[in-house]
Structure 1
């Protein structure tokens, strides 16, 4: 029996880690294609001083913390560079998760990203060299002229934002200047609004699995993900999946969400860099069991098959497709999909799941209908909402999860 240890590097969340831990315990021994027996367990990673030459016990780490906490980020870099520990999201491309580099890369690959401009800080940053550098090199610019070039309406949003913080829809000159004045020391993008879009699609990808969901950002978080299995045509849905996989394979991200606006037959990706994608049961509800099953399958596949981390970016192969004038947009997407599927070893993964992990769906269904899941849901609701709303949200989320259970039959 070969033992494998997966580390969970966590922040404030507790619901999905408890779910993942419970499913991993229930999984038991896994028989690999070569007949070898494997046992996988997890441990929550603590933060403490680390020797750069110390050997970690973990073979894989699921990171949900290092995008803002630099000490564990440096530990992740160390164990990736020195110890070949597998990471679901590369710590070497975290800056690309600040949106700007991700926009640039996907524009370079020809995706239909709306016109976007990065504008300088409104207020000086805290640096003793600011005054001299700004006086000598910062060029005055006409914010109104920049906005007119993009066209109203547009969005102003932080280049390193998350959770919609600091995002403003700008309809005129007055709103433009009010939002820019309020931005302070935050570095902002101006991005053309995709007006008249038909649907907002949010896709969650875990390894080579992707769930595309209808997203309604104007609603409270517990209502944003609509349960709708046919809101996109098969062709458009496949394009959204391809864009999601392309982004992830390109940047070595394997646990990420992507947001796209669909207008007619065109898909406009607007945000596709998320170091800590939402997987809370109180957000995903109906889709939560799928997310846990996908996370279980991918992490077990990685450690049991000895999948090696790929730290090199390999961008030239993607750019060769982008720069080929003989290829149509659809043909380029197909080429990107081939590269992404190659990176994620889709065929090998599917074969592994069909043999070694064929029972995972049944296992997840049994767990979701157990008293253990019922306790997790109740405790999460009580920790998230005020007492007078407990019954309402227990009924809301319980009903949505029950709908998922019925659909499995």
Structure 2
């Protein structure tokens, strides 16, 4: 029986067609790929795909509803549309801390403008003003402000002080934002992860123009480089296995040899040949096609074939936490720690010089 792999996509033009060609080449007639075609969506109907590779539903709610129906009918959707609908970047940072993976210091900010259909009374649980002084002391400046669930470098601000922050915050309107510590990095990586097992590490520089960001060299050398790349590889797998993503990129900023996970909620990552370059493009096309074929072969009719991460599975059947994780704190504990840190950093008072005793008179 021939199995079908579909890809759902929007404006991108290089990856989808290359993916289709590669699946058809490797599938050898037993597994075929095509662009998904939708002329109607009836509830509870299986439209015949063993696998659908999703590249666009984050932008189109209609497609997201279509994919959830397909998943219920047994299609293996990459990525799981149920989890992707629930996930966001601030949660990811909290989960990363629980796993012992370094992340920048981060706080959540309420939207500057009230959401539609709300009033001032809707926010009676928010204190006015917020504890801005604590947040600024904790994060420090310069800092980055970004949407808590956005992507594609949209609405990202670098702010030098509180005045710039408040001005930028006005522009974000109803977006819920994160304020995040700036990591001044030596190396930076963007890492493809497929199937929670295939990893491809790409040197990357977000400071460069968009078309030059993947043209970068790794500055670490020797044993330090080898150790760094292994850590980045292991952190990437651990994060994606916990979140359950079959296709994702993780970004790491390396400071003093320590890779900080900056962003790891990119389930429709850039795969265009014009930005990632030929070598990276060839890798992602080859491995995404290979993985889609694996999923098609594993597909079992009339059951949920989409992936679920360790976080969800462990919530149902809990496992003991790993030793060495960064435990999350209560607000009171966090404030207490901040006060202790401030006291330690305060300059010590200088003591007055001790009085010296006069020399004893010699005995006669």
TM class by shorter-chain length? 0.7 to 0.9
What is the aligned residue count?
314
Contact map agreement 1:97 1:275 (CA 8 A) in 2: no
User: Relative to structure 2, which stretch is displaced further, 270-279 or 247-256?
Assistant: 247-256
Match of residue 99 from structure 2 = 109
Match of residue 125 from structure 2 = 137
Counterpart among 268, 274, 292 of residue 266 in structure 2: 274
1:71–1:4 CA distance, 2 compared to 1 (3 A) = same
Counterpart among 236, 240, 256 of residue 248 in structure 2: 256
The alpha-carbon deviation at position 270 of structure 1 amounts to 1.0
Match of residue 393 from structure 1 = none
The CA distance in 1 between the partners of 2:209 and 2:283, in whole Å, is: 22
Secondary structure, aligned partner of 2:271: coil
Is 1:126 matched up with 2:116? yes
The alpha-carbon deviation at position 77 of structure 1 amounts to 1.3
1:226–1:235 CA distance, 2 compared to 1 (3 A) = same
Is 1:213 matched up with 2:202? yes
User: Relative to structure 2, which stretch is displaced further, 41-50 or 207-216?
Assistant: 41-50
Contact map agreement 1:214 1:227 (CA 8 A) in 2: yes
> Equivalences for 1:146-157 in 2 at 5 Å?
146-157=135-146
After superposition, give the CA deviation of every residue in 1:190-212 in whole Å (9 maximum; x if it has no partner).
Answer: 111113x2111110112221111
Stretches of structure 1 that go unaligned for 5 or more consecutive residues are: 30-37, 331-409
- Kindly indicate whether structure 1 or structure 2 has the higher relative contact order, using CA contacts under 8 Å at least 6 residues apart: 2
| TM-score (structure 1 length as normaliser) | 0.71
> Equivalences for 1:336-347 in 2 at 5 Å?
none
Match of residue 291 from structure 1 = 284
The CA distance in 1 between the partners of 2:51 and 2:254, in whole Å, is: 36
1:152–1:228 CA distance, 2 compared to 1 (3 A) = closer
The CA distance in 2 between the partners of 1:133 and 1:238, in whole Å, is: 48
Counterpart among 233, 248, 254 of residue 241 in structure 1: 233
The alpha-carbon deviation at position 328 of structure 1 amounts to 4.3
1:329–1:120 CA distance, 2 compared to 1 (3 A) = closer
Contact map agreement 1:102 1:273 (CA 8 A) in 2: yes
Secondary structure, aligned partner of 1:225: coil
1:58–1:229 CA distance, 2 compared to 1 (3 A) = farther
Decide which structure has greater helix share: 1
Contact map agreement 2:186 2:219 (CA 8 A) in 1: no
Match of residue 190 from structure 2 = 202
The alpha-carbon deviation at position 86 of structure 1 amounts to 0.8
1:185–1:306 CA distance, 2 compared to 1 (3 A) = closer
Secondary structure, aligned partner of 1:5: strand
Mark the structure with the bigger radius of gyration: 2
